[in-house]
Chains A and B, each alone.
Chain A
């Protein structure tokens, strides 16, 4: 399973999404218009889930905006942390 697929599985199991993991594009915006419709509460849950599942710690609000843009941006952050 690729990292992107694992991220999508974590998202669908933690966020009660109406979309299936396979329907989330790697570069689809997660928030905002045209995205899959996550809101601020989802963002909070996602931050917790990424820490729990991948050890990715996001404590800074501005960094969160960049990291949580797409599945690929989350994957890049996970790979960058080592």
Chain B
């Protein structure tokens, strides 16, 4: 449907519904991972490519694409790089059109793109605030809206939103990031209730620090100090987060929706 769907604000009496038959998991589906050039996005995409040999994985990238290009080269015909500015509705529409050119239904969206620009609120610029909100939260709204058209048409879908432990346990200096990621959790819960009877689950994962994606300004001493606070005494491995994303997109998670899974090694 051109122009996407708009939520129809028709408030009506609700009647109980019969339980639907379990929706079989398609053996061939199209999966879009945003922020696919980053450490976590790359791991998520790699996980799907390894575990679902019949599916196609679309790698959403913006400025950097080296890792995504390399992954696509290793999986010709199955992995495709898509330039996707996640804060643009037009870009999302283009991505959905591109995915729709293949015969596998677009049924899995991993909203992974995001970044943080830390500052104390008293000195945070308006641009620091709005850009982090746009890339981490507004993008999820746009992505979900763009993906829902296909998912509703097929009456099946899996949306996994990557939030952050910062949404639940917010450190100083991240009012923008924590607000955005907390918004993602709220969006996840609310949307999950809208889509539940359509066969579409919506869940979130809240990772803590991830190996390979630690703040670049940390010294070795700072890294060790943070690591020591974690009961598991280590940071998350990207493939651990990716495996949980894969689980939430699988048939085994068909009764899980609206959930936020905290992955922090026992930190909080």
Interface of A toward B, CB cutoff 8 Å? 14, 16-18, 31-33, 35-45, 47-48, 51-52, 57, 59, 61, 64-65, 68
Contact = CB atoms under 8 A, between A and B. Distances in A.
B116 to A, nearest CB: 34
A18 B15 contact: yes
B147 to A, nearest CB: 13
A48 B15 contact: no
A57 B2 contact: yes
B11 A51 contact: no
Interface string B1-40: 1110111111111111110100000000000000000000
B1 A57 contact: yes
B9 A18 contact: no
B250 interface: no
Nearest to A31: B12
Interface SS of chain B:
loop
Contacts of B15: 18, 36-37
Contact of B9 (A57, A59, A61): A61
A44 B8 contact: yes
Interface residues of B, number: 25
Contacts of B2: 57, 59
B172 interface: no
Contact of A51 (B1, B20, B194, B197): B1
A48 B20 CA distance: 18
Given A14-B155, A44-B8, A61-B9, A37 B3 contact: no
B13 A39 contact: yes
Contact of A48 (B10, B18, B152, B197): B152
A41 to B, nearest CB: 6
A36 B12 CA distance: 10
Contacts of A39: 10-14
B155 to A, nearest CB: 7
B1 A59 contact: yes
B17 A16 contact: yes
A31 B10 contact: yes
B12 A64 contact: no
A46 to B, nearest CB: 9
Nearest to A37: B15
Contact of B12 (A40, A44, A52): A40
B149 interface: yes
Contacts of B198: 41, 45
A43 B198 CA distance: 12
Contacts of A33: 13
10 contacts: A35-B13, A39-B10, A40-B9, A40-B12, A43-B12, A45-B197, A45-B198, A48-B153, A59-B1, A59-B5
